[in-house]
């Protein structure tokens, strides 16, 4: 029995360490945001300079980074239910993440097909999704 409790304790301890290691801080998020802003600039350069490789490197960073974005620990643990709901709106965040990734793929495809106008439209749809979070979810 005692051994069993120690085992359970060890599992719980390991679980907590893993959870803590997964923590997402404000600094992490700001860094991810800046990475995405740079990726968007790269995509824009690719469109202007007619360079698919630059576009691809931008969409690749964008897609890898957007999936990391989420509420930071303080927001998840917020005692104010309304604020918590506002900042940790997982459903909306997931939807935005999916859309950004989809538009990034389409942008790349359209540009590769020689349709820069459609590619640009996808670009503005991506910015629209960024702003959706900044404005609607965050009330900026
Ligand atoms: C799910 C919500 C969400 C999405 C989606 C989102 N952002 Fe943000 N963004 C934030 C939050 C929250 C902050 C404020 C970060 C902080 O100060 O804690 C922020 C801040 C920023 C900043 C300012 C960073 C700084 O240096 O202070 C930039 C730039 C930015 N976002 C770019 C983007 C771009 C580009 C996209 C789309 C590709 C995007 N964001 C999508 C939530 C989001």
What CATH number is associated with residue 118? 1.20.120
Higher pLDDT, 47 or 83: 47
In the chain, the percentage of residues whose pLDDT exceeds 90 is 70
pTM of the model: 0.86
- The reply to whether 125 falls in a domain is yes
- Ligand 1, pocket-test mutation among 59, 85, 134, 139, most atoms within 8 A of CB: 134
In a domain, 46, yes or no: yes
Instruction: Give the Cα separation of 56 and 53 in Å (integer).
Output: 5
Domain annotation covers residue 17: no
CA–CA distance, 1 with 116 (Å, rounded to integer)? 68
Residue 103 maps to a domain: yes
Q: Which residue has the tokens 């940790």?
A: 88
State the Cα torsion 128-65-111-127 to the nearest 10°: 10
What digits encode the pLDDT tens for the residues 105-124?
999 999 999 999 999 999 99
For the CA of 97, the nearest atom of ligand 1: 5
Section 22-33 average pLDDT? 93
* CB 137 near ligand 1, within 6 Å: yes
Average pLDDT over residues 88-115: 96
For the CA of 40, the nearest atom of ligand 1 = 35
Whether residue 133 has its Cβ less than 6 Å from ligand 1: yes
- Number of structural domains found in the chain: 1
**Is 6 part of a structural domain of the chain?**
no
Q: How far is the CA of 30 from the centre of ligand 1 (A)?
A: 7
Residue nearest atom 14 in ligand 1 by C-alpha distance:
30
**Max mean pLDDT range (11-15, 71-75, 77-81, 113-117):** 113-117
Query: Is residue 2, in this structure, part of any structural domain at all?
Result: no
* C-alpha–C-alpha distance, residues 86 and 77, integer Å: 13
User: What's the domain range around 84?
Assistant: 24-137
pLDDT band at 21; cut points 50, 70, 90: very low
Which residue's C-alpha comes closest to atom 8 of ligand 1? Answer: 33
| 5 found inside a domain | no
Nearest to 104 by CA among 65, 135, 47, 58: 58
């Amino acid at each position: 029995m005692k051994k069993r409790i120690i085992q359970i304790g060890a599992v719980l301890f390991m679980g907590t360490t893993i959870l803590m290691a997964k923590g997402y801080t404000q600094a992490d998020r700001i860094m991810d945001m800046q990475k995405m802003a740079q990726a968007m600039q790269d995509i824009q350069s690719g469109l202007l300079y007619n360079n698919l490789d630059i576009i691809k490197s931008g969409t690749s960073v964008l897609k890898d980074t957007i999936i990391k974005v989420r509420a930071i620990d303080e927001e998840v643990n917020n005692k104010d239910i309304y604020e918590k709901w506002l900042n940790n709106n997982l459903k909306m965040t997931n939807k935005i993440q999916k859309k950004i990734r989809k538009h990034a793929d389409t942008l790349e495809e359209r540009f590769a097909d020689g349709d820069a106008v459609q590619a640009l439209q996808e670009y503005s749809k991506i910015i629209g999704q960024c702003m959706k979070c900044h404005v609607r979810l965050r009330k900026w």
